[in-house]
Amino acid sequence: MPSRIQIENTYLLPGLFKERADINRAYLMELKSENLLQNFLLEAGVRTDRDVTEMHLGWESPTCQLRGHFLGHWLSAAALLIAQNRDRELKAKLDTIIDALARCQELNGGRWIGSIPEKYFEKLEKNEYIWSPQYTLHKTLLGLYHSALYAQNQVALEILGKAADWYLEWTEKMMQKNPHAVYSGEEGGMLEVWAGLYQRTEDERYLTLAQRYAHPSIFGRLADGEDPLSNCHANASIPWAHGAAKMYEITGDAAWLELVKQYWKCAVSDRDAFCTGGQNSGEFWIPPRKLGMFLGERTQEFCTVYNMVRLADYLFRFTGAHEYLDYIENNFYNGFLAQQNKYTGMPTYFLPMKAGSVKKWGSKTKDFWCCHGTTVQAHTIYPQLCWYADKERNRLILAQYINSVCKFNAHVTITQSVDMKYYNDGASFDERDDSRMFRWYIKLHVKAEQPERFTLSLRIPAWVAGEPVILVNGQHAEVESVNDFAELDRVWEDDTVNLYFPAALTTCSLPDMPQLLAFREGPIVLAGLCESDRGIYLAQNDPTSALTPVTEHTYDTFPWRQSVYRTIHQPENFELVPLYDITDECYTVYFTKKSLN
């Protein structure tokens, strides 16, 4: 089965995704450590003389019951970048923050590592309302776990060991007094983090904690073939699937895998999705065949996009099925990129789908929604999901077509890039540019220190219209097609592979409102630059009868404008651009279909 490439052996190259990742990394460095730590220091009784206006506010305000959650996200994001890029600057900042957390833990009695009071958990015991204290603690625990796993910070592991003792005592007490308390407070992520710590350390305390969080009611309902998701909080349930996936990873028990598959079936296979891949509104799963009635300003919460991509990654590694990689690609373009401000790196909590929408961006220090946290993590995981290895078959899998490098083993390195110049990285002016004009011309360079045979397995995206073109050293290659992968099994040394994936202009309608349709080019959703649903006149349902491509030379991410169209034969014409390029413009995604006679 596929496995991830070691994290230090793959990294991004200049291009669209690296631009977004670099903006994100700059933001991680920009935030002041004392503000990231503010709620942990206050909880530990450390005095601050700073005015509140200088502190992080919104969900990080000292008056918010979720205060402190964001630091966990920050630690997770920073740890991944440290491992990928050997980022010494981020490493120094992360180590300093974790040393401060260790001090806070000691000031709190040696075990408690919360940014919130322990008495919040007393409210869970009494079945009194409190806003998601286990969610808040989970972010801190997960951030520390990632700091140990990826950034090799041993202090983080020591903090976690002491925190585990607190949790062992509390969960044991609750098993006697009120077992429901363990399964309240938005606790879904706890199973995965405790199981992951057991996988990392083989410390039986973590396995005990994982077992104590391993029996939520959602598992029973999934096993019985029920739908436990519709009209329920989406991001509270997805982490349970992560936990089941991690339990399968460490135990090999097929029952856990079956739960993960059942969750995916209920959440994705048996449920409709917007053209972007989103399936929720106002943070809640939309029931099957109800998308149209939920078309509004609060569609596609970003946390759900990020966490479902993580689940798809688990399932691809468990099954090798192509569909999970297509799902990830769709959400990369129409979630990860579309819900990050390309200038500031800030998130939009929801991705509005109603006609005449405007994205609402968070601020750098005054909001800190949950989606703010998952956004800073999201733009660190691209390299991990581009390449996989299948050691049993001596196979390297190219999963996502994102400019990047992969060191397959000690002797073989593969580079992939869009077959265009990249002017944002400082390419000089050329009077003649022989590069291609279309983003789906891709070039791979395979460099082996000595001739080596292995299979290079290329995902053929589901959206490809017609036959892809695959050349090796300028010659049409002999390709074996296996489960929607094109497999090149040969001896490699110093070789170039050229790919071309023809992408058609297509429409995507809502199952409960088929008169509404959106446009896509390949995997990329297009948004009309208009303030209302003006309707689209089509001839015989052919999108090319209503849209014509537009391009021009630029000195930007791509040397030619990509995925831009203009309407034709309409009462009032307008442009459509990639949804991920929309910043502050008013836009419309779904249009009423009209017949062009």
| Least confident residue range of 35-39, 198-202, 434-438, 492-496 | 434-438
Instruction: Show Cβ contacts of residue 187 under 8 Å, excluding neighbours closer than 6 positions.
Output: 134, 135, 138, 213
Query: pLDDT tens for residues 411-425?
Result: 999 999 988 766 665
Instruction: Show Cβ contacts of residue 230 under 8 Å, excluding neighbours closer than 6 positions.
Output: 285, 286, 287, 288
Secondary structure (3-state) at 414? strand
Predicted pLDDT at 433: 52
Architecture of domain 387-500: Sandwich (2.60)
Q: Which helix (H) or strand (E) holds 395?
A: strand 395-398
Rounded-to-integer distance, Cα 74 and Cα 131, Å? 21
Rounded-to-integer distance, Cα 80 and Cα 378, Å? 11
Predicted pLDDT at 460: 97
Q: What letters, b where the CB count within 10 A reaches 16 and e where it falls short, cover 192-229?
A: bbbbbbbbebeeebbbbbbebbbebebbeebeeeebbb
> How confident is the model over 362-373, as a mean pLDDT?
98
CB distance 401 to 414 below 8 Å? no
**Above 90 in pLDDT, residue 370?**
yes
Query: pLDDT tens for residues 188-241?
Result: 999 999 999 999 999 999 999 999 999 999 999 999 999 999 999 999 999 999
**Above 70 in pLDDT, residue 282?**
yes
Q: Torsion-angle region of residue 521: left (phi > 0), alpha (psi -120 to 50) or beta?
A: beta
> How confident is the model over 568-596, as a mean pLDDT?
95
CB distance 488 to 502 below 8 Å? no
Predicted pLDDT at 482: 87
Which structure tokens are listed for 87?
């980022």
Q: Nearest to residue 58, comparing CAs of 363, 402, 356, 274?
A: 363
Q: Nearest to residue 483, comparing CAs of 504, 499, 462, 500?
A: 462
DSSP per-residue letters across 67-124? TTHHHHHHHHHHHHHHHHH--HHHHHHHHHHHHHHHHHHHHTTSS---SS-THHHHHH
Whether 387-500 and 217-380 are alike in CATH topology: the answer is no
Predicted pLDDT at 436: 67
**Above 60 in pLDDT, residue 434?**
no
Q: How far apart are the two ends of the chain, measured CA to CA in Å?
A: 52
pTM higher than the cut 0.85: yes
> How confident is the model over 30-53, as a mean pLDDT?
94
Predicted pLDDT at 422: 60
Q: Which CATH number fits domain 217-380: 3.30.930.10, 1.10.3210.10, 2.40.340.10, 1.50.10.20?
A: 1.50.10.20
Q: Nearest to residue 379, comparing CAs of 421, 416, 331, 318?
A: 331
3-state SS string for 327-383: HHHHHHHHHHHCCECCCCCCEECCCCCCCCECCCECCCCCCCCHHHHHHHHHCCCHH
Q: Other CB atoms closer than 10 Å to residue 29's CB: what's the count? A: 12
Predicted pLDDT at 438: 84
Q: Torsion-angle region of residue 277: left (phi > 0), alpha (psi -120 to 50) or beta?
A: left
Phi, psi of 413 (to 5 degrees): -130, 135
Q: In whole angstroms, what separates CA 34 from the centre of its chain? A: 27
Query: pLDDT tens for residues 301-340?
Result: 999 999 999 999 999 999 999 999 999 999 999 999 999 9
| Average pLDDT score over the chain | 95
Q: Which residue has the tokens 């401000």?
A: 341
Predicted pLDDT at 426: 54
Rounded-to-integer distance, Cα 303 and Cα 375, Å? 8
> How confident is the model over 521-529, as a mean pLDDT?
98
| Least confident residue range of 38-52, 104-118, 183-197, 387-401 | 38-52
pLDDT band at 558 (very low <50, low <70, confident <90, very high): confident
Predicted pLDDT at 430: 53
Query: pLDDT tens for residues 150-182?
Result: 999 999 999 999 999 999 999 999 999 999 999
Which structure tokens are listed for 51?
């005015």
Where do the structural domains in the chain lie, given as residue ranges? 31-215, 217-380, 387-500, 505-595
Query: pLDDT tens for residues 62-101?
Result: 999 999 999 999 999 999 999 999 999 999 999 999 999 9
